[in-house]
Chains A and B, each alone.
Chain A
Amino acid sequence: MSSNAITIPGTQIQTRPWVDELHQWLTTVDHKRLGILYILSALLFLVIGGVEALVMRIQLMRAHNNFVSPEVFNRMFTMHGTTMIFFVAMPVLFGFANYLVPLMIGARDMAFPRLNAFSFWLSFLGGLLLYFSFLGGSGLYGAGSAPDVGWWSYAPLGARAFSPGHSSDYWTLALLVSGFGSIGTAINIIATIVSLRCPGMKISRMPLLVWLNLVMAGMVLIAITPLSAAQIMLLIDRYLGGHFFDTQAGGSAVLWMHFFWIFGHPEVYVLIIPCFAFMSEIIPVFSRKPIFGYPVMVGATVCIAFVSMSVWAHHMFTIGMNSYANSFFTLTTMAVGVPTGIKIFNWIGTMWGGKIQFKTPMLFSIGFLFQFLIAGLTGIMMACSPFDWQLSLSYFVVAHFHYVIVGGILFALFAAFYYWYPKMTGRMLSQGLGKWHFWLFLIGFHLTFDVMHIPGVLGMPRRIYTYEPGRGWDTLNLIITIGAFIQAFAILVFVANLVISYFKGARAGNDPWDAWTLEWSISSPPPAYNFATVPTVASRRPLWDLKHPEDPDSRYE
């Protein structure tokens, strides 16, 4: 393969006793190993969070079901939401950013390798702390076990008066600890991109994945800090007699909502922007064309980042803001649809006139485009605040954000797994199992989340452990539950694929997809410190230039 021309053999890692190997993994400061640790810990929590979802789905499968008690159900949805956002979605995306950003900019590691390790272990231990609540939550007071106040823990429900014992403290501390980890990683990503780009990689030549992770990291710095501040205030309320959110002593429940959602909404974009990044790498390669409108894609991302900082109160349309505030947040929320729309059009523009190869990563990418379109449109519906007065807090909104997080983020992540797994392990994931995974997950997803919009329209609120028969919700909920189990089965196929292919997958070689960015120029998995000689680039697609010396990109940029 032509790309072999700039392959630089790295130091071979020798086989060591497993204790040594384990020690290496636990003490590593290598960005690739930390990336993989992030991803593995996220997969672990994904399975746990998924089981929690299934418990809820079994309970709701028919009216007046008695599978779990209301207390357990409330813990399940609190833990499911907290786990999936803070200990699955963020770590897995940080993991890919950690792994890919240095490789794509021709760097040998992140800017601060030890901060990197510190951040990972903070995040992971935050997750363990959250789950320790099942054992330690009943603690001294004998009240509660895992947190059961919802993943946004609205005041005053999280106050001592309504949430005695320590369950809420585990929630608060877990978020605080993992939040510091997130901030560390964000600083690290920014510093790496700013200071470690290889010669020739001007900021206008960075792969879009790098650009978008830069934006994401900037947003993390802005979004996580108010959350951490709010958690500290909550701790002061709970233990030092503060009254920030203590409504019984004149505190403000609405203040907590503002703090939470000024984190919470940018957080959605913190999660989706790295997924846009995956799409912007994968769709061009499998369409055999460069990304359509690179500058506009960068501009749209920066625009999303700014606008998404001013939309948070659309989570609060029902709290009785005045008509001006409701109108303002309607406008900003709808406005964020414009740059997002540009992105969808530019991806279609990338496919237009290409020669699309339907490999597994591309299948998931097309699924992403289709589902993200629908998620965006239901988002427009809820941006329209009067419509939201009906839809908010109902199953419609649950369907909407799962469309974003599962239909969008998780599909993009699966695409990324199938695309970069060969680079990380040196083995291809099985295409056959991949297709089973894709189609099963697609069917399960649509069965669950398409149908889930309807009970919302029929007045079913979220977070209820049971419901009365005869409201027209029963059959719909049964279908939703069946879909959830199909998805769970598809995840099993995926995990099986990860494990089997690790041992038996076809050898990947350096560049299995005939791609164009720097990570494909070195061996799979890449050697320690990546590049024996730091590469020099002359365009956004250095490997294209190398493979097509007669018609390099550098001539047009």
Chain B
Amino acid sequence: MSMLRKSSTLRFLAQAILLLFWSAVAVWASEPKGSPSHGTNIFAPASTPAKSIADLSVFVLVITGIIFVVVFALLLYSVVKFRGRAMDAGHEPAQVYGSTQIELAWTIIPILIVVVLFLATARVIHSIQDAPEPAGAVQVTAIGHQYWWEFRYPKLGIVTANELHIPVGDPSHPTPTFLQLLSADTDHSFWVPELGGKTDLIPNHPNRMWMDPQRTGVFLGQCAQYCGTQHAKMLLRVSVDGPEEFASWVRAQQRPAVEDTGAIAGRRVFESNACMNCHAVAGSAADGRFGPDLTHLMSRATIGAGAAKNTHNNLRLWIQDPSAIKPGSLMPAMKLSDADLDAVVSYMETLR
């Protein structure tokens, strides 16, 4: 009984310390945000892998918090208690060379702590990494490019960029998304903190990760592995949609590009310049693979992998000179005349 009380007192102490430490986190996390409804706090998990990581993390924080309190108290006590005083001058303290029992104790106790932490960790590693892929899982191939994301849904025949749409799941009807991670050039890392830990995208080294979001909304993330000049603006948005919403998004994405006779001039500019060498517009002659697929460009909220909002002015500025928004971007400035520029922008704006 007394043991129990002691451990609960300890836990209370540790939690108090942790609370202090992480209250700062909470303050920043609760700050008002821009358009997306969530921040990117690793302690606000919205899917199973993220949640089991967060639970394990709290456990580790409690243990390390307790260690901190104990060792810090010892350190503080010895510094205060054994400080030299003026009247000691000339007298040396008792010369103690060591104590086998004490040293044995502070060897064995840490070993036990390590065993406990390791077992708790190994369980979570296994539950996340070795989770089987259920039959109804949504499959997505994510390909990292310098400095944008390509998302392909092989079963659904969809190709899109930078904004990943996945269905929300609930415990009775799980629809997890399994990502295959590839890279077209350098190393990247897929990180959406509230949906899961990060996994790298490495050329010649396919990786896998999964998530099963439990609430709808837009979740932010970005490339976490330094991949070159514009690593900072390789942002990532995951839109978790309700079942109907997701189904209608899929239907819309599966359609070829809208043919709008009003934008025929812009389409001609697009197809007679180098644009079509890198970009694809389904249903047209443009089938380039180096840049993002533009078939449904206007369905996306941002351009340049989240570098700017998808507005008329930003789109125009981007096509005129991408490096004005994202210096180091691999898309060249096409040096179009103003008339051609306006035509291409209005063509882009028909691609819903």
Given known A342-B103, A459-B193, contact A320–B200 (CB-CB < 8 A) = yes
Which chain B residues in 98-149 approach chain A with CB under 8 Å?
98-99, 102-103, 106-107, 110-111, 114, 117-118, 121-122, 124-126, 128-130, 146
A290 is contacted by which of B56, B64, B95 (Cβ under 8 Å)? B95
Query: Is B93 a contact of A156 with CB atoms below 8 Å?
Result: no
Check if B231 is an interface residue, CB within 8 A of chain A: yes
List residues of B (230-274) whose CB comes within 8 Å of A's CBs: 230-233, 235
B85 and A355 within 8 A (CB): yes
Which partner residue on chain B sits nearest A336 by CB separation?
B114
Q: Are B232 and A349 in contact (CB under 8 A)?
A: no
A residues in contact (CB < 8 Å) with B: 69-71, 74, 148, 150, 154-157, 162, 247-248, 250-254, 287-290, 292-296, 318-320, 322-323, 326-327, 330-331, 334-335, 337-338, 341-342, 344-346, 348-349, 351-358, 366, 369-370, 373-374, 377-378, 380-381, 384-394, 454, 457-459, 461-473, 475-476, 548, 551, 553, 556
Which of A322, A349, A370: most chain B Cβ within 10 A? Answer: A349
A457 to B111 Cα, complex, angstroms: 28
B110 touches A341 (CB 8 A): yes
Q: Would B97 and A387 count as touching, CB distance under 8 A?
A: no
- Of chain A, the residue at the smallest CB distance from B198 is A318
Q: B residues engaging A (CB < 8 A)?
A: 24-25, 28-29, 31-34, 39-43, 50, 52-53, 56-57, 60-61, 63-64, 67-68, 71-72, 74-75, 78-79, 82-85, 88, 91-99, 102-103, 106-107, 110-111, 114, 117-118, 121-122, 124-126, 128-130, 146, 181, 185-187, 189, 191, 193, 196-200, 202-205, 207-208, 220-233, 235, 306, 327-328
Interface contact A292-B98, CB-CB below 8 Å: yes
Q: How far is the CA of A501 from the CA of B294 in the complex (A)?
A: 67
Contacts of A323 in B (CB 8 A): 125-126, 129-130
B48 to chain A, nearest CB (A): 12
Q: CB distance A293 to B57 under 8 Å?
A: no
Give B65 Cβ to nearest chain A Cβ, in Å.
8
B114 and A292 within 8 A (CB) = no
Bound CA–CA A33/B225 (angstroms)? 43
**Nearest Cβ on chain A to B126's Cβ, whole angstroms:** 5
The answer to whether residues A373 and B189 also contact, given A154-B225, A293-B98 and a CB cut-off of 8 A, is no
Most A Cβ at <10 Å: residue of B39, B85, B187: B187
B222 near A461: Cβ-Cβ < 8 Å? yes
Q: Which of B111, B117, B203, B205 is the one whose CB lies under 8 Å from A384?
A: B117
Given contacts A342-B106, A390-B198, A467-B232, contact A318 B28 (CB under 8 A): no
Can you name 8 A-B pairs with beta carbons within 8 Å?
Answer: A70-B328, A290-B96, A296-B103, A338-B107, A377-B68, A470-B32, A470-B33, A473-B28
| Interface pair B82/A157, CB less than 8 Å apart | no
Which of B60, B61, B98, B228 has a CB less than 8 Å from the CB of A294?
Answer: B98
CB neighbours of B94 from chain A (8 A): 289, 353
Q: Which residues of A contact B198 (CB under 8 A)?
A: 318, 389-390, 392-393
Neighbouring B residues of A250 by C-beta, 8 Å: 204
Residues of chain B within 8 A (CB-CB) of A387 are 53, 56-57, 60
Would B25 and A253 count as touching, CB distance under 8 A?
Answer: no
Q: Pick from B25, B41, B50, B198 the residue with the most CB of A within 10 Å.
A: B198
Return chain B residues, CB-CB under 8 Å to A388: 197
By beta carbon, the residue of chain B nearest A557 is B97
Beyond the given A318-B199, A356-B79, A470-B31, please list 14 additional residue pairs across the A-B interface where CB-CB is below 8 A.
Answer: A155-B187, A157-B226, A288-B92, A294-B98, A327-B126, A338-B110, A338-B114, A356-B82, A373-B75, A384-B57, A386-B124, A458-B193, A467-B232, A472-B28
5 shortest A-B CB distances, which residue pairs?
A: A389-B197, A459-B40, A464-B232, A320-B207, A293-B98
Bound CA–CA A228/B227 (angstroms):
24
CB of B308, distance to nearest CB on chain A (Å):
10
Q: Which residue of B lies closest to A379 (CB)?
A: B64
Contacting residues, chain A, for B97 (C-beta < 8 A)? 290, 292-294, 556
Give bound CA distance, A293 to B106, whole Å. 12
Q: Are A253 and B56 in contact (CB under 8 A)?
A: no
Within 8 Å CB of A459, what residues of B? Answer: 39-42, 191, 193, 220-222
Structural contact, A356 and B83, CB atoms closer than 8 A: yes
CB-based nearest B residue for A387:
B57
Contact A463 B231 (CB under 8 A): yes
Q: Is the CB of B232 within 8 A of A253?
A: no
- Give bound CA distance, A357 to B189, whole Å: 50
Q: Which residues of B contact A253 (CB under 8 A)?
A: 187, 202-205
Nearest CB on A from B131, distance (A): 10
* Contacting pair B103 A319 (CB below 8 A): no
A318, B189: Cβ atoms closer than 8 Å: yes
* Contact B82 A354, beta carbon cutoff 8 Å: yes
- Which residue of the partner chain, among A248, A381, A466, contacts B232 with CB atoms under 8 Å? A466
Chain B residue with Cβ nearest A470: B34
Instruction: Decide if A157 touches B227 in the complex (CB within 8 Å).
Output: yes
CA distance A185 to B4 in the complex (A): 55
Q: Knowing A254-B205, A459-B40, A459-B220 are in contact, say whether A346-B117 is a contact too (CB < 8 A).
A: no
Contacts of A344 in B (CB 8 A): 71
When the two chains form their complex, are residues A393 and B128 in contact, meaning their CB atoms are under 8 A apart?
Answer: no
Of the candidates B53, B193, B223, the one whose C-beta lies within 8 Å of that of A386 is: B53
Contacts of A334 in B (CB 8 A): 114, 117-118
Contacts of A327 in B (CB 8 A): 118, 121-122, 125-126
Write the nearest CB–CB distance from B90 to chain A, whole angstroms: 10
A319 to B187 alpha-carbon distance, docked (Å): 10
Asked whether B40 lies within 8 Å of A458 as measured between CB atoms, the reply is yes
What residues of B have a CB within 8 angstroms of the CB of A548 in the complex?
92
* In the complex, chain A residues whose CB is within 8 Å of the CB of B186: 154, 156-157, 162
State the CA gap A162–B63 with chains docked (Å). 44
From A150, A378, A380, B117 is in contact (CB under 8 Å) with A380
A288-B84, A348-B75, A358-B83 known; A74 vs B93 contact (CB < 8 Å): no
Q: How far is the CA of A157 from the CA of B68 in the complex (A)?
A: 40
Taking each of A293, A294, A331, A390, which has the highest tally of chain B beta carbons within 10 Å of its own beta carbon?
Answer: A390
Kindly state the separation between the CA atoms of A338 and B204 in the bound complex, as whole angstroms: 37
Nearest Cβ on chain A to B30's Cβ, whole angstroms: 9
Q: A330-B121, A374-B68 are in contact. Are A458 and B28 (CB under 8 A)?
A: yes
Most buried by A among B57, B223, B224: B224
Q: Tell whether A247 pairs with B203 under 8 Å between CB atoms, given A292-B97, A366-B79.
A: yes
Evaluate whether A476 and B28 lie within 8 angstroms (CB atoms) in the complex, with A74-B229, A457-B43, A458-B41 already known: yes
- For the complex, what is the distance from the CA of A162 to the CA of B230, rounded to whole Å? 13
Q: A101 to B208: give the CA distance in the assembly, Å.
A: 51
Q: Are A393 and B25 touching (Cβ within 8 A)?
A: no
- The answer for the CA separation of A102 and B97 in the assembled complex, in Å, is 25
Decide: A330 near B106, CB < 8 A? Known: A251-B204, A393-B198. no
With beta carbons under 8 angstroms apart, the residue of B60, B98, B125, B203 that contacts A156 is B203
Output the least CB separation between A520 and chain B (Å).
16
Q: In whole angstroms, how far apart are the Cα atoms of A534 and B31 in the complex?
A: 69
Asked if B41 contacts A351 (CB within 8 A), the reply is no
In the assembled complex, the Cα of A156 lies from the Cα of B146 at a distance in Å of 12
**Quick check: A320 and B79 within 8 Å, CB to CB?**
no
Q: A250-B204, A253-B203, A466-B232 are in contact. Are A389 and B53 (CB under 8 A)?
A: yes
Q: Give, as a whole number of angstroms, the nearest-CB distance from A277 to chain B.
A: 18
> What's the minimum C-beta distance from B180 to chain A, rounded to whole angstroms?
11
Q: Are B60 and A461 in contact (CB under 8 A)?
A: no
The CA-CA distance from A296 to B75 in the complex, in Å, is: 20
The CA-CA distance from A279 to B180 in the complex, in Å, is 49
In the bound complex, CA of A148 to CA of B98 (Å): 50
Give A311 to B118 CA distance when docked, in angstroms. Answer: 14
Interface-central residue, B67, B79, B226, by most chain A CB under 10 Å? B226
Per the bound structure, the CA–CA distance linking A148 and B232 in Å amounts to: 14
Interface contact B208-A320, CB-CB below 8 Å: yes
Q: What residues on A are CB-neighbors of B25 within 8 Å?
A: 454, 457-458
A154 touching B110, Cβ below 8 Å: no
Q: Once bound together, how far apart are the Cα atoms of A334 and B60, in whole Å?
A: 12
What residues of A have a CB within 8 angstroms of the CB of B128 in the complex? 386
Is there contact, CB below 8 Å, between A70 and B56?
no
